[in-house]
Amino acid sequence: MHRHRELCERAVDPLEIAAGLEAHGISDRTAARFRHRDVFSLAEELYARTPRGEAGADLAERPLPAGPRAVRGFGYALLPGALAFGAAATGMPGAGPLAVLVTVGALVWPGRSAGGRFPYAAHLLAAAAVGWAVHRHGPALGAALALAVAPAHLAGALYAARARRRLAGSRALEDFAAGARPLLAGTLVLFTAAAAGAAALAGAAAAVAVPLAVLLFLTRLLLRHGAHRAPVALALALALLPAPAAVSAAAAGLLVHAVLALSRASAHARP
């Protein structure tokens, strides 16, 4: 990494590093000496380990974001639930559309999504899926989803910090992937429990609110970790089908994609 630091620092994705390594004569045989199956696997780890923006920072010693920025981010995550729950509790006209707006804006706000910073298509499809569900099941569902934004923020931050911590201590991509999968499963279990609690607090049916909240949470994780948008958009489009199991099927399909995408070291590189 020190020998090719300039290449790693200016690269925008692992494939650029792989191309540069091959241009410098690095072959799959050379990569095998560093316990990687090929040049592309080696490039993925180099991309993930190269500091960007916070040179020298030790992620392993920072399990959670700290400071005013983290506090402000959590404060913003509390606002959707307060607004939507208050509007629904007082019977304010337009409580449903308000819940849809604040939920989609906060829960799937873009991160470093592949192919562009602002994945408008995913946002529009998420708004359509949530709006359709709230229209069918009432403002209480919208309030439940808005209340789930705060635990989604905390679960996403905890997942990202622990994944980077595990990456810093891994010696090979297979080692990291083996630990990343149960970490994702544990995070999803915690969020599912929180979403069920939000549904109970808002008076919404858990069987409707929880699968939709999980779908939006997976969308949030994938967009924030630079995943490609096509599978996300496909899952959100599937949730629009007028079938009782459509949302659950969409969430299950997106979970499969999340397990594969978030097990890659480059998904947890510093933005």
Residues 153-180: tens digit of each pLDDT: 889 989 988 988 887 776 666 777 888 8
Among 148, 167, 271, 165, CA closest to 212: 148
Q: Decide if pLDDT at 147 tops 90.
A: no
Percent of all residues in the chain with a pLDDT value above 70, rounded to a whole number: 77
Res 130: pLDDT: 87
pTM (2 d.p.): 0.75
CB 159 within 8 A of CB 183: yes
Mean of the per-residue pLDDT values for the chain? 80
Residues 36-77: tens digit of each pLDDT: 888 888 888 888 888 765 443 443 444 444 566 666 666 676
Residues 222-266: tens digit of each pLDDT: 988 878 888 999 999 999 998 989 999 999 999 999 999 998 877
